[in-house]
A = this chain, B = another copy of it.
Amino acid sequence: MRIGDIAHRAGVSTRALRYYEEQGLLASERTVTGQRIYPESAVERVRLIQQFFTAGLASRTILQLLPCVETGTASPEVFTILEQERTRINAAMADLAAAGEALDRMIAIAHHPSPEHCPALREPAWAPSDGSTRTRPTLATISTGVAP
């Protein structure tokens, strides 16, 4: 298959495919006139590369991982990288979850314009500091969901 076919099937640009080749992530045969030729399997490989890029892996890291994918084995260094990236991804997911919950709290508050924002749910977060004034949810309660 030619580069345009792979690009279309994998959902990326031809520029991306040439970039992958430049980075050593994707090999290609050439016709006598210099045009790139790929096997079917290239589509899946590109999808995997894209998945790793989307997950924040650097091209150099992917380059170290891909041989492991082909051979089904991993040297100790590659194994270390695998676990490092796994840990990094878990941390990134936790960060995303925290930000998502912050957004959820903002959505919940915005959805209830009354000063009493869903008391049963949020009372611990904005319990009045004194008896006279009721505080609205503030920065601290939104960012962490826990009152200082």
Complex CA distance for A73 and B78, rounded to whole angstroms = 50
Residues of B within 8 A of A103 (CB): 82, 85-86, 89
| Given contacts A68-B106, A139-B41, A93 and B97 within 8 Å (CB-CB) | yes
- Assembled-state Cα–Cα distance A56/B99 (Å): 10
Contact: A93 with B96, CB < 8 Å? yes
- Which residues from B are CB-within-8-Å of A5? none
User: Which of B65, B73, B78 is close to A113, meaning CB atoms less than 8 Å apart?
Assistant: B73
Chain B residues, CB < 8 A from A85: 103
By a CB distance below 8 angstroms, the chain B residues around A78 are 110
Residues from chain B with Cβ under 8 Å of A86 in the complex: 100, 103-104, 107
Interface residues of A (CB under 8 A from B): 41, 44-45, 47-48, 51-52, 54-57, 65, 68-70, 72-74, 78-79, 82-83, 85-86, 89-90, 92-93, 95-100, 102-104, 106-107, 109-110, 113, 117, 136-140, 142-143
- Say yes or no: A106-B52 contact (C-beta < 8 A), given A45-B139, A89-B96: no
Which B residue sits closest to A107, measured CB to CB?
A: B82
Taken together as a complex, chains A and B put the C-alpha atoms of A55 and B57 apart, in Å, by 16
A132 CB → nearest B CB, Å: 19
A142 contact from B54, B69, B93, B106, Cβ within 8 A: B69
